[in-house]
Structure formats: C-alpha cells, structure tokens
Amino acid sequence: MNQQNLSPQKEIGGFFEFENNRKLSEYHKNAFRFNLARTAFEFLLKQKKIKRIYMPSYMCKTVFTACKKAGTEYILYNTNSRLFPLLDMKPAKDEYVYVQNYCGQLSNEFLTEIKQRFNNVIIDNVQSFFQMPILNTDTIYSCRKYFGVPDGAYLYTDLHEFSEKYEKLEYAFSEVNYKHIAGRTDLCASDFYAASKAHEELLCGSSIMKMPLSTQIMLSNIDYNDVIQRRKNNFEYLHKKLKALNNFDIAGNGGLFFYPFRSEKGAELRKKLLENKIYTPTLWPELLDKNNPAANLSREIVYLPIDQRYEEPEMEIISQLIFDFFKLC
C-alpha cells in the first residue's frame, strides 16, 4: 500500500502535533495498517470467509476471540519443545492453518515449506517484527510489542480485491492511550503498571479499525537499523552468557523479540527478577489455569528484555542475577 497522508486535517498553523521526520519511514511500508494484530486477523477471517482454522494451543486468548467474532471454528494443535508447530493435520481445501512464529524460531525457508504443503496459511510474525513475509502469504505483525506505541499492526495479504472495504474503515483514535507510555518516560514503569493493564483491557474491546495516524507518525520516526543492531547485540550478549544454563534450543536470533530462557524453575526465576525490578512477561498467564498442553511453556519460559533501550551494562545485570539465582537453588 502507498504511504498514507500523515496530516489528519487540512489545517495550517496553530499548536503542534507529533513531529514527523520525513527522512525516515515505517519498516513495513507496503502493508495494510490496523489498530491491532487481533483486529487485522479478524478482518482477514471475515473477508476470506474462513469457516475453520487450525490454531496452536500456546496462544493468546484474544486470537481465539477474533475467531469467535468472525464465526470461524478453530481446532487446536501442539508445538514441540523448540516451539516448532506439529502439523500432522489434513485440512480440507477451504480450511486454513495458523502458524505462530514464536521468537522468530521459524525461518522463511521453513515457512515456505509450510506454505507449499498447506497453501492456505496465515503466519503470525507478532514476535518477529523484522522478518519480512514470504511471497503471497497472509502475515501479521504487531507494533507495540517492539516499540513505545499504544497500538498498531500490519497485515500483508493478497486481499487486494477487498481494499475498498479496508479504505472504508475508520481510523482508531489514540488520544486516551498514552498515559502509561508517557508515565514510563517521565517516571517509573511500576508507577504506571495499573495504567498499562487498564490500557490492555481497553484494547480487548476494540473493533476493526485502521492504525491511528499518530501511531503511524511515531513508527515513521524510528531508526530501525539502529533498533535491530541494539537488539542483536543484547541478544548475542545474553546468549553467550546464558546458553549453558538455557534449556531452550534457540534458532537464529529469536526474532529479536526477547531472549527466551527456559528452566523448570522459570516461575521462581521470574519472581527473583521482578524483586530486582527486571520485568519479564508471562506468555500467556491464562494458560496456567487450564489443563493445557502449553501450560509448561508459559510457566517455564522467561522472556528476558533485550530491546533498544538497553546495552551491555543492563545485560550484565540480568545475566549476573541469573547466575546468582542458580547458585542459590
């Protein structure tokens, strides 16, 4: 898709909005822009009239909510210990297979093989923002998992015949959604954790809309090459330090998402890191309360931060805390 007009109205003068550096641009310039990855998925389900889809069991509940809203039946399948999909199903010609690329574990060569095998495939690259899509394959990305934005998602699809329906969507409005981001910038994350949770709950009720223009401007002001290099350096530093302790067999650079560290003592380690103000997400906590084959994945994998805000000193603090933890166990 062409670059959107970043001016919401044809007004001249007055107070300033977000600055837009026109020498930079979004990383995913040619994708459809949505408010959320979940709504992009819902749009895809509805426009393609998908009646049945195979989904991994280790998955955020909002994705299943999108299926329900679209009237799409889903059938669960499992992943192995490396988070590779166990695709032993035989879908009908009009059925789809949803493949989550956890931590960028799946190369484009591997994904191409899946595409050739099943044809009707949707790739979830929410955890691999910088991995470009394979040819003629529906692929979804999330922005707020990688950057300080309140929303935003990209969808690559061959649904060009539905462009008219996409263009009729309204733009989402982010005005009320910046409190936790501004608070984290000016003060501490712990002071605005409640605001962050409230924001997540607000997003759960979002309808299918275009990415807000304000989010698009923020994403157009990022030096992506610098972000990639910083994340790569941090990932490699942790992997060099921790790979002997890590029970997760990581392929490549983990999608430059987090550093996935797996241990049977993952829950205890996560608590220890939290006590030292190192915040690691649990993906996804609702799975811990169910008889789900993915429960151990949520419990044992600790996602260590490697993002562009940090450099070697912070990675050394993380690795040293982990060394100390295992000495005490």
Instruction: Say how many domains are in the chain.
Output: 2
Q: Are residues 209 and 231 in the same domain?
A: no
Residue type, 93: K
Q: Specify if 237 maps to a domain.
A: yes
Q: Which two tokens stand for residue 74?
A: 């889903």
Q: Are residues 211 and 256 in the same domain?
A: no
Segment 260-283 shows an average pLDDT of 94
253 versus 66: the higher-pLDDT residue is 66
Q: What is the pLDDT of residues 177-203, one digit of tens each?
A: 666 566 566 656 665 556 556 546 666
* Parallel/antiparallel/unpaired status of strands 138-142 and 121-124: parallel
Domain closes at, from 168, 185, 219? 219
Q: Are residues 182 and 250 in the same domain?
A: no
Identify the band that residue 261 occupies on the pLDDT scale cut at 50, 70 and 90.
Answer: very high
Q: Are residues 188 and 95 in the same domain?
A: yes
Domain closes at, from 203, 219, 235? 219
Q: Are residues 141 and 201 in the same domain?
A: yes
Strands (DSSP E) contained in 101-218 are 121-124, 138-142, 153-156
Q: Specify if 105 maps to a domain.
A: yes
**pLDDT above 60 for 8:** no
Q: Are residues 120 and 37 in the same domain?
A: yes
Strands (DSSP E) contained in the chain are 32-34, 52-56, 73-77, 96-100, 121-124, 138-142, 153-156, 259-262, 301-304
Q: Specify if 15 maps to a domain.
A: no
Q: Which two tokens stand for residue 277?
A: 């103000």
DSSP codes joined into one string, 55-81: EESSS-HHHHHHHHHHT-EEEEE-B-T
Q: Are residues 208 and 240 in the same domain?
A: no
**pLDDT above 90 for 158:** no
Q: Are residues 143 and 271 in the same domain?
A: no
What is the per-residue pLDDT for 2?
46
Query: Which residues, 6 or more positions from 103, have their beta carbon under 8 angstroms from its beta carbon?
Result: 83, 127, 128, 250, 254, 255, 257, 258, 260
Go through the chain and tell me how many residues it has.
Answer: 329
Q: Are residues 247 and 146 in the same domain?
A: no
Q: Are residues 197 and 308 in the same domain?
A: no
**pLDDT above 80 for 31:** yes
Q: Are residues 267 and 285 in the same domain?
A: yes
Q: For 126-135, 194-203, 280-289, which range has the lowest pLDDT when averaged over its residues?
A: 194-203
Query: Which residues, 6 or more positions from 153, have their beta carbon under 8 angstroms from its beta carbon?
Result: 33, 34, 35, 36, 37, 38, 39, 40, 140, 141, 142, 143, 211
Q: Are residues 96 and 202 in the same domain?
A: yes
Q: Which two tokens stand for residue 71?
A: 């009237």
Domain ranges, residue 53: 32-219
**pLDDT above 80 for 151:** yes
Q: What is the pLDDT of residues 241-250, one digit of tens each?
A: 999 999 999 9
Q: Specify if 128 maps to a domain.
A: yes
What is the per-residue pLDDT for 296?
86
What is the per-residue pLDDT for 161?
79
Q: For 56-60, 161-165, 232-236, which range has the lowest pLDDT when averaged over its residues?
A: 161-165
Of the candidates 306, 36, 278, the one whose C-alpha atom is nearest the C-alpha of residue 144 is 36
What is the per-residue pLDDT for 157?
94
**pLDDT above 50 for 3:** no
What is the overall mean pLDDT for the chain? Answer: 88
Segment 296-307 shows an average pLDDT of 93
Q: Specify if 117 maps to a domain.
A: yes
For the domain that residue 68 is a member of, what is the CATH number?
A: 3.40.640.10
Segment 51-69 shows an average pLDDT of 94
Q: Specify if 22 maps to a domain.
A: no
Judged by phi (left if over 0) then psi (alpha if -120 to 50, else beta), residue 88 lies in alpha
Query: Which residues, 6 or more positions from 92, have their beta carbon under 8 angstroms from its beta carbon?
Result: 52
Query: Considering the chain, what percentage of its residues have pLDDT values greater than 90?
Result: 69
